[in-house]
Amino acid sequence: MRHNKAGFKLKRDVSARRALLRNIVTSVILEERVITTVPKAKAAKPIVDQIITLAKREKKEEQLHARRQAASYLMTPASVQKLFDQIGPRFATRNGGSPAWFALVSARATVPKRLCWNSWVPNWSAGPPTAPSAAKRNSRRCRKAAMAASRQSPN
């Protein structure tokens, strides 16, 4: 039976796993985009959600406590500053689901692990972009354009 086996171990002991996830979360906040493996991105996503929820606190008393909670998890004071000054107000109206991971197409066949990048959900004010038709999607030009778009930054 698999009782109490939930979560991601990532082939690391507790302290190494905690340090890895703290570094990934801090990098996502500072750089707003991190390239990592799929299991690491899936493990870091709920933690980034929790940290963003701390940054959305409005009352002054709650915000001081939330800032200290975030500072105890994040690695640098600059990441705490950016979290509460820029990222918190940006996602104040959004109810969760702020970070997302997008799979990268590996250009090298020798890379055995699937890579992805952790980033913020793009702001589509006019709605999500439309997907091309099946015939066009399978064309070589469309695949090359999709690969080039995945390599560009989301800004």
77 backbone φψ class: left, alpha, beta (φ>0; ψ -120 to 50): alpha
Contact 16, 38 (CB under 8 A): no
Alpha helices in the chain (DSSP H): 14-31, 38-55, 60-73, 77-82, 88-90, 134-137, 140-151
Distance in angstroms (rounded) separating the CA atoms of residues 47 and 55 = 13
Q: What is the pLDDT of residue 104?
A: 74
Tally of CA atoms within 13 A in the half-sphere of 28 that contains its CB: 30
Q: Kindly list the averaged pLDDT for each block of 10 residues, start to end, along the chain of length 155.
A: 88 95 94 87 91 88 92 96 91 81 67 73 54 54 66 56
The partner residues of 34 in beta bridges, in order of sequence, read 118
Max Cα-Cα span within the chain: 57
**And the tokens for 75?**
């690695």
Q: What is the pLDDT of residue 126?
A: 47
Q: What is the pLDDT of residue 106?
A: 61
Q: What is the pLDDT of residue 138?
A: 56
Contact 117, 35 (CB under 8 A): yes
Q: What is the pLDDT of residue 14?
A: 93
Q: What is the pLDDT of residue 105?
A: 67
Q: What is the pLDDT of residue 136?
A: 53
Q: What domains appear along the chain, each with residue ranges and CATH number?
A: 14-123 (3.90.1030.10)
b vs e for 122-140, b when ≥16 Cβ sit within 10 Å of the residue's Cβ? Answer: eeeeeeeeeeeeeeeeeee
Site of tokens 């606190």: 57
Q: What is the pLDDT of residue 146?
A: 66
